[in-house]
């Protein structure tokens, strides 16, 4: 791709006048906002004296708190924007020492292997030689919760990858969702403040089901696309191993001549996509708040190494100009049907950390860490992240020498004249600590290399300095609708259920009404479902800067159910056994599970285990009240007759089968298990997702059925809202 005269993607919006953000914070009284006192004890008010004026910490009145200062409508964010710098600087330093966001994390070592060269579009060394393996470190995380919050919160997941290339560290700091709530980094502190526990009461923890979050979201229409993702099953992943990762932003790849190709990065899990349901997530958090951590640790330690494929969407200026949306807008995706994902590598995690604090806690990811051959675009959210991340690490890790910490240190040679500072460990010997100098080779130290060194794409920003959103960022509903219609019916139901649940926790009717008014612009049916679930009338549609494009087609790549695995490999079956359980039946079942590449755990009345029908003693992995069915992808119940009678009077045993049934899991049923299902109230409700496992043939058929992961047809019969809709 040839160079262009602008670092902006021209897009369809060229020639259109930029507009102010269509966000509005609404009218608020001083009582609603509270009194913000300056250093002199005075409140800043307008001439009318009825509303406080927002100021910087220096008391300077702020004219625009919605947009960072840019060179042109779609140009780069400017360093002189002191308001943005102060705001993001203060936000970065709000927590010591845990991260403000992504505090709850877990990580592992591995490698990236190139499977297809990208030498045609980039000079980046890591993309040159097929088959070459490069060390990598990956940290998964939740966003909103603190370090002590549970793993299965409904939340976006961080998917941060550090690749130790021969030309420096490359940090692809992404999420398991390809879009974001906001378009401009100026609003990131506000978003996180709204999502975090309220400052007066310090709750709720790791939840967005509260007034502050939905107040902000309902006043921020650009969030509607992300809302669809956040309320979908994407935010309840079954495992780190079964979720996608995305670089979110549009980046550039540069070849040796400086020619640019736009790129979006995708991580595709080899295990397929899989999530849990909300009721299940709530119970998992109670039974095992470390569910995701334990799953990743166990998988790696057992040799079942998690793996993802790296895919790229590559496109040029011509596509960017013809695309319906702005590729610099982080609230938008490029559907894979328009730009297919080209698989070029694989990421494998094969080693757990040696020390959690030294590695997982101290690892520092920064979006601006890119090697030569990869460059940035003028995405205003990316531009803000590039500033914010370095500042955050300086505060969190104590100073500028965080690269001396082994987990952050590049694995290639490092040469520079930076010195001293807190916790300086590495240093260069000799007299010269400046450049240029005349001390000559060796003594004089390193010199820049115009050929091998990092170069930015050569472009000229255009336009005046403005605090604006470009007109091309103004469509907030079309892709939200596209995501919704790309889901299977059961996934659409889950989105509606999630919105009803979240908004039912919102106390103010005006916030609920305002939020549903946005949903009208997304899909009238969804708005009606949510309004009905909340017991309210459907409001008029919110005012839209641009009308919703209803002609956008569904994209199959956006559905979890449509992109599930083709086997049950790597999943886990909980087998409920008692004394006297049939040994041949258990052997046939475990053989079928192992043949599939799946795992199993024996659950029994006592942790000491059981004595099978042939006298064999089998230890249990879980005691029944410590190993509920929520911990498993499928369950089998194979008690003896006497054992079934005992289980039938045990509440945890009845919960084991009723939860599995309610969560639409496949259930294997032994010939003597009927009393338990009868006492649990399920004997008349058993369906095609409940299969016999009395013989080896039955066991094989059961595991083959489990490849579908869930028997979703059942949900329509066990959910009150679904029955009401019917």
- Residue 38: pLDDT above 80? no
Amino acid 723: pLDDT: 57
Quote the tokens at residue 592.
């079928």
The catalytically annotated residue of 7, 8, 169, 175 is 175
- Residue 532: pLDDT above 90? yes
H helices present in 670-719, as ranges: 674-679, 696-705, 715-718
Question: For residues 155 and 235, what is the distance between their CA atoms, to the nearest angstrom?
Answer: 5
- Residue 401: pLDDT above 60? yes
Q: Report yes or no on 609 lying in a domain.
A: yes
Question: For residues 174 and 160, what is the distance between their CA atoms, to the nearest angstrom?
Answer: 5
For residue 670, the domain's CATH number is 3.40.50.880
Amino acid 45: pLDDT: 46
Amino acid 636: pLDDT: 98
Q: How many domains does the chain have?
A: 1
Q: What would the mean pLDDT of 600-604 be, rounded to a whole number?
A: 98
Q: Report yes or no on 118 lying in a domain.
A: no
In whole numbers, what is the pLDDT of the chain averaged over residues?
A: 91
Q: Report yes or no on 601 lying in a domain.
A: yes
Q: Report yes or no on 708 lying in a domain.
A: yes
Amino acid 720: pLDDT: 66
Q: What would the mean pLDDT of 379-405 be, rounded to a whole number?
A: 91
Lowest-confidence pick of 83-87, 176-180, 223-227, 557-561: 83-87
Burial class (CB in 10 A: 0-12, 13-18, 19+), 615: exposed
Amino acid 34: pLDDT: 35
Q: Report yes or no on 664 lying in a domain.
A: yes
Instruction: Considering only residues 69 and 271, tell me which one the structure prediction assigns the higher pLDDT.
Output: 271
Q: Tell me whether residue 225 is one of the annotated catalytic residues.
A: no
Q: What would the mean pLDDT of 509-517 be, rounded to a whole number?
A: 98
- Residue 49: pLDDT above 90? no
- Rg of the chain over CA atoms, in angstroms? 28
- Residue 63: pLDDT above 90? no
Amino acid 40: pLDDT: 38
717 is in which domain, residue-wise?
A: 568-725
pLDDT grade, residue 9 (50/70/90)?
very low
Amino acid 705: pLDDT: 98
Quote the tokens at residue 299.
């998988």
Amino acid 725: pLDDT: 58
Between the alpha carbon of residue 580 and those of residues 45, 588, 600, 615, the distances in Å are 79, 16, 19, 8
Quote the tokens at residue 117.
């060269």
Question: For residues 205 and 214, what is the distance between their CA atoms, to the nearest angstrom?
Answer: 15
Q: What is the 3-state secondary structure (H, E, C) of 647-669?
A: HCCCHHHHHHHHHHHHCCCCEEE
What is the pTM assigned to this prediction?
Answer: 0.89
Using N-to-C axis directions, what is the helix angle for 583-596 and 696-705, rounded to 10°? 40
pLDDT grade, residue 36 (50/70/90)?
very low
User: Residues annotated as binding site?
Assistant: 99, 139, 188, 385, 389, 396
- Residue 418: pLDDT above 90? no
Q: Report yes or no on 616 lying in a domain.
A: yes
Return phi, psi of residue 369, to 5°.
Answer: -80, 95
- Residue 27: pLDDT above 60? no
Q: What would the mean pLDDT of 339-350 be, rounded to a whole number?
A: 98
User: Residues annotated as binding site for heme?
Assistant: 99, 139, 188, 385, 389, 396
* Nearest C-alpha neighbor of 101 from the set 224, 211, 227, 193: 193
- Residue 19: pLDDT above 50? no
- Residue 1: pLDDT above 50? no
Return phi, psi of residue 636, to 5°.
Answer: -135, 140
- Residue 604: pLDDT above 70? yes
* Nearest C-alpha neighbor of 487 from the set 516, 534, 522: 522
The single residue listed with the structure tokens 């397929």 is 272
pLDDT grade, residue 93 (50/70/90)?
confident
| Cβ-contact 158, 142 below 8 angstroms | yes
pLDDT grade, residue 39 (50/70/90)?
very low
The catalytically annotated residue of 8, 83, 102, 476 is 102
Q: Which of 13-17, 285-289, 419-423 has the highest mean pLDDT?
A: 285-289
631 secondary structure, DSSP code:
G
Q: Report yes or no on 340 lying in a domain.
A: no
Amino acid 413: pLDDT: 87
Q: Report yes or no on 650 lying in a domain.
A: yes
- pLDDT over 70 for what percent of the chain? 92
Q: Tell me whether residue 175 is one of the annotated catalytic residues.
A: yes
């Amino acid at each position: 791709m040839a160079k262009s005269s602008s670092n902006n993607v021209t897009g369809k919006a060229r020639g259109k006048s930029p507009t102010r953000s269509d966000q509005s914070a609404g009218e608020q009284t001083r009582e609603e906002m509270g009194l913000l006192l300056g250093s002199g004890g005075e409140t800043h008010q307008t001439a009318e004296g009825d509303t406080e004026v927002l100021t910087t910490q220096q008391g300077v009145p702020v004219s625009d708190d919605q947009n960072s200062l840019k060179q042109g409508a779609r140009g780069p964010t400017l360093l002189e924007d002191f308001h943005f710098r102060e705001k993001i600087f203060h936000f970065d330093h709000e927590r010591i020492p845990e991260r403000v966001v992504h505090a709850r994390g877990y990580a592992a070592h591995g490698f990236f292997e190139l499977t297809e060269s990208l030498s045609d579009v980039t000079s980046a060394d890591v993309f040159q030689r097929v088959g070459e393996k490069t060390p990598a470190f990956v940290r998964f995380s939740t966003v909103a919760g603190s370090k002590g919050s549970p793993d299965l919160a409904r939340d976006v997941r961080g998917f941060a990858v550090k690749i130790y290339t021969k030309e420096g560290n490359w940090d692809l700091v992404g999420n398991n969702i390809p879009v974001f709530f906001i378009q401009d980094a100026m609003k990131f502190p506000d978003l996180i403040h709204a999502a975090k526990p309220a400052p007066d009461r310090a709750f709720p923890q790791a939840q967005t089901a509260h007034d502050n979050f939905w107040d902000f979201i309902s006043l921020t229409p650009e969030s509607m696309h992300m809302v669809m993702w956040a309320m979908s099953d994407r935010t309840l992943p079954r495992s780190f191993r079964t979720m996608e990762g995305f670089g979110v932003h549009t980046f550039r790849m540069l070849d040796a001549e400086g020619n640019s190709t736009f790129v979006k990065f995708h991580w595709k899990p080899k295990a397929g996509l899989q999530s849990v349901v909300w009721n299940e997530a709530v119970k998992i958090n109670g039974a095992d708040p470390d569910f995701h951590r334990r799953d990743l640790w166990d998988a790696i330690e057992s040799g079942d190494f998690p793996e993802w494929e790296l895919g790229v969407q590559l496109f040029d200026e011509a596509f960017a100009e013809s695309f319906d949306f702005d590729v610099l807008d982080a609230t938008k995706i490029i559907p894979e049907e328009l730009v297919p994902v080209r698989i070029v590598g694989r990421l494998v995690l094969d080693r757990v950390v040696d020390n959690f604090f030294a590695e997982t806690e101290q690892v520092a990811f920064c979006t601006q860490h890119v090697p030569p051959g990869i460059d940035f675009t003028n995405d205003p959210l990316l531009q803000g992240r590039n500033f914010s991340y370095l500042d955050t690490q300086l505060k969190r890790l104590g100073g500028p020498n965080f690269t001396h910490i082994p987990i952050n240190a590049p694995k290639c040679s490092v040469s520079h004249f930076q010195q001293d500072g807190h916790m300086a460990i590495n240093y260069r010997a000799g007299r010269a600590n400046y450049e240029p100098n005349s001390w000559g080779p060796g003594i004089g130290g390193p010199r820049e290399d115009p050929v091998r060194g990092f170069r930015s794409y050569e472009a000229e920003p255009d336009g005046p300095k403005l605090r604006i959103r470009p007109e091309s960022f103004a469509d907030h509903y079309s892709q939200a609708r596209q995501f919704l219609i790309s889901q299977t019916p059961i996934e659409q139901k889950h989105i509606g259920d999630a919105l009803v649940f979240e908004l039912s926790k919102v106390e103010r009717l005006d916030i609920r009404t305002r939020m549903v008014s946005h949903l009208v612009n997304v899909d009238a049916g969804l708005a009606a479902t949510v309004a009905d679930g909340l017991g309210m009338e459907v409001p008029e549609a919110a005012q839209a800067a641009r009308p919703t494009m209803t002609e956008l087609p569904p994209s199959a790549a956006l559905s979890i159910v449509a992109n599930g695995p083709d086997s049950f490999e790597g999943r886990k079956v909980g087998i409920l056994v008692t004394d006297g359980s049939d040994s041949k039946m258990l052997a046939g079942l475990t053989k079928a599970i192992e043949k599939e590449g799946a795992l199993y755990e024996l659950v029994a009345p006592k942790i000491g285990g059981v004595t099978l029908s042939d006298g064999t003693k089998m230890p249990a992995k879980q005691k029944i009240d410590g190993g509920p069915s929520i911990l498993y992808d499928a369950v089998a119940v194979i008690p003896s007759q006497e054992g079934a009678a005992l289980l039938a009077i045990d509440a945890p045993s009845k919960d084991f089968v009723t939860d599995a049934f309610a969560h639409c899991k496949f259930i294997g049923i032994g010939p003597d298990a009927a009393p338990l299902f009868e006492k649990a109230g399920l004997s008349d409700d058993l369906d095609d997702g409940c299969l016999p496992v009395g013989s080896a043939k039955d066991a094989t058929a059961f595991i083959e059925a489990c490849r579908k992961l869930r028997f979703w047809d059942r949900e329509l019969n066990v959910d009150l809202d679904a029955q009401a809709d019917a």
